[in-house]
């Protein structure tokens, strides 16, 4: 196994990240030390998935280890698309879905966030946690996420941003050098893009080195 490399190469870091994000006690310490934020905020944010009515379509991109699936309620009747560029990551996400008893609602799809194989306006909720900072072109990915949302559909997620504090600059730099982080965008750039794409109720708030965002498609 490679130690470093891009996500599509499934480096050791990908398994380590996946394990940490699923283990609140140890992962929580790592998130506090590395990102200055509470991993519990991520767990809280994914609960929005569990409030959707049966038949809703969710796009989880990038799904990674499948942490957002802890928001799915067993028997909820969602059409949950778990999208990631890495097939090994999707394998881990499916294990998570089985462990949570929600695998009957989950369809794994290997795809690039910047080129989603989905029709326009077909998704009720896009969950994009800890993802934008990994993409080679975050703006293209955001445009795709908004494109597939139905009017009134919700985009919710989190990311590192270029302006989330000097204290987190070394982590950003190390991630970029290791090949796991992309160029990222600033908080202002994301908010402006969402407004340009016609989103409303745009919210972005910071917690340490992460920004949590939410917007509603028009
Ligand atoms: C830090 S993990 C985050 C995953 C998960 N949402 C979470 O919060 O734990 C980043 C994921 O982005 C995926 N990824 C990286 N570039 C991608 C791209 N262009 N399209 C889709 N997924 C990508 C990686 O394979 C990895 O699983």
Tell me the pLDDT tens digit for each residue of 109-144. 999 999 999 999 999 999 999 999 999 999 999 999
Q: Under a CB-based contact definition with an 8 Å cutoff, are residues 74 and 102 in contact?
A: yes
Atom of ligand 1 nearest to the CA of 60: 6
Q: Would the CB of 65 count as within 6 Å of ligand 1?
A: yes
% of the chain exceeding 90 in pLDDT: 82
Q: Is the CB of 129 under 6 A from ligand 1?
A: yes
Q: Which of 2, 5, 7, 137 most suits a substitution to test ligand 1, by most atoms within 8 Å of the C-beta?
A: 7
Domain count, the chain: 1
Give tens-digit pLDDT for 34-81: 899 999 999 999 999 999 999 999 999 999 999 999 999 999 999 999
Closest atom of ligand 1 to 158 CA is 8
Residue 2 lies in a domain: no
| Residue 117 covered by a domain | yes
CATH number of the domain that 64 lies in?
3.40.50.150
Q: How do beta strands 149-160 and 210-216 pair?
A: antiparallel
Within a domain: 162: yes
Could you tell me which of 93, 144, 94 has the C-alpha nearest to residue 122? 144
136 lies in a domain? yes
Parallel, antiparallel or unpaired: strands 200-207 and 149-160: unpaired
Residue 166: domain span: 7-216
User: Under 8 Å CB-to-CB from 150, ≥6 apart: which residues?
Assistant: 121, 122, 123, 124, 217
């Amino acid at each position: 196994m490679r130690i470093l490399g891009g996500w599509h190469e499934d480096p050791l870091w990908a398994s380590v990240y996946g394990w940490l994000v699923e283990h609140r006690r140890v992962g929580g310490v790592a998130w506090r030390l590395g990102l200055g934020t509470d991993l519990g905020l991520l767990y809280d944010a994914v609960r929005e998935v569990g409030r959707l009515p049966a038949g809703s379509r969710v796009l989880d991109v990038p799904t990674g280890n499948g942490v957002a699936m802890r928001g799915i309620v067993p028997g909820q009747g969602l059409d949950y698309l778990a999208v990631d560029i890495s097939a090994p990551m999707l394998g881990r996400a499916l294990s998570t879905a089985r462990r949570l008893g929600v695998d009957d609602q989950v369809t794994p799809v290997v795809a690039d966030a910047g080129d989603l194989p989905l029709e326009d306006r077909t998704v009720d909720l896009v969950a994009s946690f800890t993802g934008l900072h990994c993409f080679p072109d975050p703006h293209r990915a955001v445009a795709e996420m908004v494109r597939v949302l139905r009017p009134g559909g919700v985009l919710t997620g989190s990311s590192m941003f270029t302006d989330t504090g000097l204290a987190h600059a070394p982590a950003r730099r190390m991630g970029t050098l290791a090949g796991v982080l992309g160029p990222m965008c600033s908080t202002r750039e994301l908010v402006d893009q969402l407004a340009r794409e016609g989103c409303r109720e745009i919210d972005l708030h910071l917690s340490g080195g992460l920004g949590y965002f939410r917007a509603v498609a028009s």
